[in-house]
Structure 1
Amino acid sequence: MMIKKEWEETIEIIFSEQLKNQYNIGNTDVFERKIKLKNLLNLVLQYRKDIQKAMFDDFKKAPAEVDLTEIYTVTNEINHAIKHLHTWMKAQYVPSPITLLGTSSYIHYEPKGVVLIISPWNFPFNLTFGPLISAIAAGNCVMIKPSEHTPNSTALMKKMLAEIFPENEVAVFEGDSAVAAYITQLPFNHIFFTGSPTLGKKVMKAAAENLCSVTLELGGKSPVIVDESADLSKAAKRIAWAKFLNNGQVCIAPDYVYVHEKVKNEFLTLLKAQIVGLYGQEAELSKDYSRIVNQAHFNRLKQYLQDAISEGAVLEIGGEMNEKERFIAPTVLSNVNLKSAIMQDEIFGPLLPLMVYQDLNEVILHIQQHEKPLALYIFSKQDEVINKVIRETRAGGTVVNHNTLHFFNNELPFGGSNNSGIGKTHGKYGFEAFSNARAVMKQWSPFSALDLLMPPYSNFKQKIIDLTIRFF
């Protein structure tokens, strides 16, 4: 007989308590849920400096960047939910067909119950609190497993949430991958996972054992296309910002760039100038440039760069490294072998392959032949080019003449497709992800047309059925 570890027993006890409490939480009204969201908002603002410190300790991330990518994204999501929750929770009436005359129909959004959020290390507060806001708005009990790779941030989130939520409503679990593997085996009503496609498959497999629904926020190789009509200065600045934000450790960061051959040299010159403008001549000295999260990821990126160069890639910009500091400079490569590892795997770091194209169709074919990306970016002034790319490719989201901004619009669904994700989040879409759309129909009239068509069947009833099939 296997003896359970203490943390396994703790997880099971809290899970059991949340199961018992789910209907109490699920039956809360819009005002009670708004109070919870307001308490969470005040908590985040109260701990703003602590969040900045935790992120610096984990990443050496600049406070202003923490404000933009961790604090603002959360406060914006909370304010949006508070503003719209009343509408989301209302019964959504829908028409009933004439064949169901005497009925009324509506959709009732009910909480899924007890849900699990598994969040990543690259934006620990943003990508933990974001789905948590949606789960609270939908009326769920929540168990959270943040990443062990950002221990300072995880410990702070556990401390913060314990101040305003009892464990039978919201509970945070620290620990390594063994904890994550164990907790995903429990029969949750929904699992929201953010991470790599490889781990996403494991989560989905575990969820399938319990017929548990999932939202998978994954990643992939998000391409950028810069055509000859683009405003190259703005394209260079926006690509540099989006690629090297958080040291490239962003699921929707530009993964590689296709630039038209006519503007390649000018674009490279501008890109180098913009990188210097953002981080100075020596990015290692910049207080605004983050670090790689741990040694394993540093080694992975170092290997990508070395392999690419050994296979003929040209180092256009950067390439400097400091292993002790887990520093990798903003790096741009050209003439990259499409079969090299850096072009097969999601990079998730400050390395940017740059390819040249003549025919847009070749670029589109390359994108079509690979997994659907989480994001796709187009820099162009030509509507026919923009429309062609959107029409002939598939992606979770697309931004034209900028990068990553769609993440900040809570009116847009955020998520991938197939290898880059399943399901959508943010705003109403996040609320729906943690809700069951329950169909409700009420027969308010004493008369129902269906009563006329019940057995025993006759020629007369068959004629009515025939007319219904033909005309209704």
Structure 2
Amino acid sequence: MALEGGGAGDLGSILAKQKAAHLRDGAPSVEKRIDWLDRSIDLLVTHGKALNEAMREDFGHRSVDQSDFTDIVGSIGALKHAKKHLKSWMKPEKRSTDFPLGLFGAKARIQFQPKGVVGVISPWNFPVNLTFTPLAGIFAAGNRAMIKPSEFTEATSELMKKLLGEYYSEEEVAVVTGGPDVGAAFSKLAFDHLVFTGATSIAYHVMRAAADNLVPLTLELGGKSPVILGESADLDKAAKRIMAGKTLNAGQICLAPDYAFVPKDKTKDFVQAATKAVETMFPTGLKDNDDYTSVINQRHYERLNSYLDDARSKGAEVIELNPAGDNFTQQPHHKMAPHIIIDPTDDMKVMQDEIFGPILPIKSYSKTQDAVDYINTHPRPLGLYYFGQDASERDHVLNNTTSGGVTVNDVIFHVAQEDLPFGGVGPSGMGSYHGIDGFREFSHRKSVYTQVGADLLAIARPPYGEKYRKLVAGRRKK
């Protein structure tokens, strides 16, 4: 079912229909859940090219090859993974019972029960992936869904609304489009669970709105994900992988490497290696290169350029990585060359805000502990990246920092592993999904205890006597 905007009453009526359908039909069978998953797979396989074109239109320019990999194939992979493992995920989980009840036949288990209706507020940076990847876990857990996609990617949101309306009934999936007012009304609905992917600043409002109905939340946010290049790192390989992550989607990724610690004596070498990496990936230049994505809109383009202006005005060295010397002042879209900022200070905006664009500050360091201490004095990030072959140093970094996830000797790739949970911690989010963790996130884990036939616990009922007191005293001992 697809809705255009609408007031809170319209949204509430759809939610009421979905909740009523959930109660009417009960927990869906394995076959029904697989049917829901298969329909999304078919939608993406059949209409992937159209969705890629819609994303390119929304961004001004977005690499179709990138979209095909990150949004279409990535989403299909999540849906197929859920389909493959669904039967085993749904099996009740056996738990032990306290001695001696288990000896007499008492049983305990966890039963995974659908929550009901899950709301999804999806962002603009990966508009298809961050709609359908949560749906993999939502459908696997047996839930229905209401979706509010971003107004920034209008063409993609409208196409998803149309397609999902063709593949699902309004009792199964509903898509509502519109601006911030619709988003605010959506976040106030009494969902059985709500998933929000977006900026930390908006998450405060979503969490406050959800609190009125005590709606459980999964918040996938972001933050400043750091990179530590150890002394033992292969500098050229690290630069290639870091710059690939920083230029993918023009750095508009919640897990993009936000800033990097580089050993003091290797700063110049890293800049050279990063420059070479960009030249290798985009040998014909950036402005007219189909492989290089635009910044989403004028507001974000101006925001990113203001970071560069602020850094320059405060004395930082700013290096543009522009292999063909393209003139970005004359262009139909909002493309922006990658930039490196050398040793920025903490009073610069680029070190205060999540960058979400193709700018990489690098900070020189002498001791690994200095990098660890810096990371620990700032909000916990969504991702952290370590490059190096020193196992002791790697373990020290991992054991003494806290982040949503880690990739070692690369960036971002932990999010692509369906058997690993994806989520943040503190300001970078709460809850996690992907694979079995998504199934469990969107399920109610109901405890079920089955009592023994014999009335062994009669002793624990009044009137209390000496046998009862001795039993309690024995349990109280160390």
Letter in 2 for 1:217: E
The question of 1:388 aligning with 2:391 is answered no
Q: What's the CA shift string for 1:31-61, capped at 9, x where partnerless?
A: 1111221121111100011011111111211
Q: Tell me which of 438, 453, 468 is aligned to 1:446.
A: 453
Q: Distance in 1 between matches of 2:137 and 2:475?
A: 43
**Aligned residues with identical type, % of pairs:** 38
Q: What secondary structure does 1:120 align onto?
A: coil
Tell me whether 1:463 sits opposite 2:464 in the alignment: no
Paired residue for 1:196? 199
Looking at structure 2, the residues matched to 459 and 23 of structure 1 have their Cα atoms a distance apart, in angstroms, of 49
Q: Check the 8 A contact 1:134/1:434 in 2, yes or no.
A: yes
> Is 1:296 aligned to 2:304, yes or no?
no
Equivalent runs, 1:307-318 vs 2, <5 Å? 307-318=310-321
Could you tell me which residue of structure 1 aligns to residue 236 of structure 2?
233
Q: 1:136 aligns with which of 139, 143, 159?
A: 139
One-letter code aligned to 2:273: L
Name the structure 2 match of 1:153. Answer: 156
Count residues in correspondence.
Answer: 466
Map 1:84-99; keep pairs closer than 5 Å.
Answer: 84-99=85-100
- The whole-number CA distance in structure 1 between the counterparts of 2:213 and 2:276 is 53
Q: 1:264 to 1:409 in 2, by over 3 A?
A: same
Question: What residue is the counterpart of 2:48 in the other structure?
Answer: 48
Task: Compute the RMSD of aligned alpha carbons.
Answer: 1.5
| 1:158-177 matches, cutoff 5 A | 158-177=161-180
Deviation per residue, 1:288-315 (Å, 9 max, x gap): 0000111111111111110011111101
- Confirm or deny: 8 A CA contact 1:372 1:418 kept in the other structure: yes
TM-score by length of 2: 0.95
1:139 CA displacement: 1.1
Q: 1:321 to 1:262 in 2, by over 3 A?
A: same
Distance in 2, matches of 1:26 and 1:33, equals: 12
Counterpart selection for 1:247 from 247, 250, 269 = 250
SS at 1:463's partner residue? helix
Asked if the contact 2:459–2:467 (Cα under 8 Å) also holds between the matched residues in 1, the reply is no
Give 5+ residue unaligned stretches, structure 2.
Answer: none
Other-structure match for 2:10: 10
d(CA) in 2 for partners of 1:23, 1:402: 46
TM-score, L = length of structure 1: 0.96
Q: Take 2:230 and 2:205, find their aligned partners in 1: how far apart are those partners? A: 39
Deviation for aligned residue 1:25: 5.2
1:122 corresponds to: 125
Query: Paired residue for 1:65?
Result: 66
SS state at 2:218 partner: strand
String of CA shifts for 1:130-155, please: whole Å, max 9, x gaps. 11121111111211000000001101
Distance across 2 between alignment mates of 1:23 and 1:408: 35
Unaligned runs of 5+ in 1: none
What does residue range 404-419 of structure 1 map to in structure 2 within 5 Å? 404-419=412-427
Partner residue, 2:428: 420
Aligned to 1:430: 438
Cα offset for 1:99? 4.3
Contact 2:121 2:197 (8 Å CA) reproduced: yes
Specify the alignment match of 1:75 in structure 2. 76
Aligned residue for 2:407, secondary structure, equals strand
Contact 2:7 / 2:185 at 8 angstroms: preserved in 1? no
Q: Distance in 2 between matches of 1:357 and 1:96?
A: 53
| Counterpart amino acid of residue 389 in structure 1 | V
3-state SS, counterpart of residue 309 of structure 2: helix
Shift in Å at residue 251 of structure 1?
0.2
Residue 6 of structure 1 deviates from its aligned partner by: 4.7
